[in-house]
Amino acid sequence: MRSPANPVLVLVIALPLLAVAGSFASLALALARGDSELPKNYHWEGGALDREQERMARAAQLGIGATIAIDPLAQRCTVALHGAAPAALRLTLTHPTSTGADRAVTLARNGTSYSAPCPALAAAHWWLELADDQEQWLLRGRLHGDLQEPSALGAAAAPAVASP
């Protein structure tokens, strides 16, 4: 009668063979579905990112905050701004997966707030960017839901994330 194979010997041989097979599988995936190349001017984008960081820091220095509300019935965006009073604001709403749902809205000053036509939004994890018309400062935040409830950005918000 033949005794079964020694389990330690099986592990000593099988583990390296599995590692080699996994390496070949990883190589095949990398060759078939590798990442795309970076744009040729990618290294120039760092300057724009630095300027955006400076604008966000300026907003924090000035204590600028905003409360954003979107009324789906009136199809209107309203922003109550704290700490600044530019002539107009630019609100960019970026959907996490569908670029067709992205919105860019210019809000005109209307007394103490800013407003503009804005269709209702689908519930999602929206990225919001609010800037003045002179591009001196910038507020950013990630908000969850359909934004029908007022949401705060910058100095008006403790965390820049609202609950659904």
Q: Give the DSSP letter string of the chain.
A: -PPPPPHHHHHHHHHHHHHHHHHHHHHHHHHHSPPPPPPTTGGGHHHHHHHHHHHHHHHHHHT-EEEEEEETTTTEEEEEEES---SEEEEEEE-SS-GGG-EEEEEEEETTEEEEE-----SEEEEEEEEETTSS-EEEEEEEE-S-S-EEEETT-SSS----
**Same domain as 115, residue 59:** yes
Question: Residue 47's pLDDT band (boundaries 50, 70, 90)?
Answer: low
Whether 23 and 58 map to the same domain: the answer is no
Mean pLDDT for 121-145 is: 87
Looking at the fold, whether 77 and 7 belong to one and the same domain comes out as no
Please give the residue range of the domain that contains residue 6.
1-33
- Write out pLDDT tens, residues 75-110: 898 999 988 788 899 999 888 888 888 889 999 998
pLDDT band for position 162 (cuts 50, 70, 90)? very low
**CATH at 134:** 2.60.40
